[in-house]
A = this chain, B = another copy of it.
Amino acid sequence: MEQKELMELLNKVSNGQIMPSEALLKLKEEPFQDLGFAKVDYHRALRQGTAEVIFGAGKTPEQIFKIAKAMQDKGQKLVLVTRLDQEAYEYIKQYLPLKYYQESKVGILGDMPEKDGDGEILIATGGTSDIPVAEEAALTAEAFGNEIVRLYDVGVAGIHRLFANLDNIMKARVIIAVAGMEGALASVIGGLADCPVIAVPTSIGYGASFGGLSALLSMLNSCASGVSVVNIDNGFGAGFLASRINHLEGK
């Protein structure tokens, strides 16, 4: 409950429009719905506008379905499900017209909104194997109304592939740099770009990459300024944050 609403509530109490005891109830009547196993947060939905998100990992197909259904019933236009495995998708599609992106394990209920961001979001990957994480970021950002430019397999081992696309880097409003192994892509892009760069380490690699730790540390220690990092393989987090930055104008 935000300040403005609180003021209104207090005004009504003062005017005798509602009883103090009712007001107390109101204050406790929080903007979420309790499904028992989950407390669906409509408060967040209100603030964020178009899309609402379900993190699918660790939830049963039934739980995902019920949350998605509850959201849709509440009038939500687009529901985004991340980390949705094939099995859960098979279950849900029986009841809901869910669109499934297998590579990135993303499910989308409803139509993609119009692009209303301030500029373009560039998503670059070091290699082919980083694409699933990049696509999670891309679909997330699209679900929140952003224009995406994809630039895949431009890792520093063949740096001319990156330089051939310098204009895209220069023109982007936000850049998401997705890379595993040594994650140097984030530093190199960070040194070239003049917009915020969100680095996403991926668990791609082997041996001493330790499930993405190498790329994570590399990105945290980037010598380039203007780079920040999200969790390993967290395409959603990067896409969401990029959208936020890309919708600041007029805030």
**Partner-B contacts on A (CB < 8 A):** 1-3, 6-7, 10-11, 13-14, 16, 19-21, 23-24, 27-32, 36-39, 41, 43-44, 47-48, 53, 55, 57-59, 63, 83, 118-119, 126-129, 131, 152-161, 163-164, 166-167, 170, 173, 181-184, 187-188, 190-192, 194-196, 198, 201, 203-234, 236-238, 240-241, 244-245, 248-249, 251
Say whether B229 contacts A220, CB under 8 Å.
yes
Complex-state Cα separation, A48 to B217, whole angstroms: 26
Say whether B1 contacts A24, CB under 8 Å.
no
Say whether A207 contacts B195, CB under 8 Å.
no
Tell which of A39, A173, A192, A248 has the most Cβ of chain B within 10 Å.
Answer: A39
Q: Given contacts A182-B219, A225-B237, list 8 more A-B pairs with CB under 8 A.
A: A3-B24, A32-B164, A38-B152, A182-B217, A183-B218, A227-B237, A228-B238, A248-B249
Say whether A222 contacts B181, CB under 8 Å.
yes
Say whether A161 contacts B198, CB under 8 Å.
no
Copies in the complex: 8
Q: Measured between C-beta atoms, what is the minimum distance from A215 to chain B in Å?
A: 7
For A1, the chain B residues whose CB sits under 8 A away are 160
Complex: chain B residue closest to A150, CB-CB: B36
Tell which of A7, A27, A164, A173 has the most Cβ of chain B within 10 Å.
Answer: A164
Complex-state Cα separation, A36 to B152, whole angstroms: 7
For A83, the chain B residues whose CB sits under 8 A away are 206
Complex: chain B residue closest to A130, CB-CB: B58
For A226, the chain B residues whose CB sits under 8 A away are 240-241, 244
Contact A7 B20, CB 8 Å, known A2-B170, A214-B221: yes
For A44, the chain B residues whose CB sits under 8 A away are 157-158
Say whether B231 contacts A195, CB under 8 Å.
no
Complex-state Cα separation, A223 to B104, whole angstroms: 20
Say whether A63 contacts B128, CB under 8 Å.
yes
Say whether B16 contacts A14, CB under 8 Å.
yes
Say whether B2 contacts A158, CB under 8 Å.
no
Complex-state Cα separation, A21 to B3, whole angstroms: 11
Q: Measured between C-beta atoms, what is the minimum distance from A210 to chain B in Å?
A: 7
For A2, the chain B residues whose CB sits under 8 A away are 166, 170
For A191, the chain B residues whose CB sits under 8 A away are 156-159
Say whether A208 contacts B232, CB under 8 Å.
yes
For A3, the chain B residues whose CB sits under 8 A away are 24, 166-167, 170
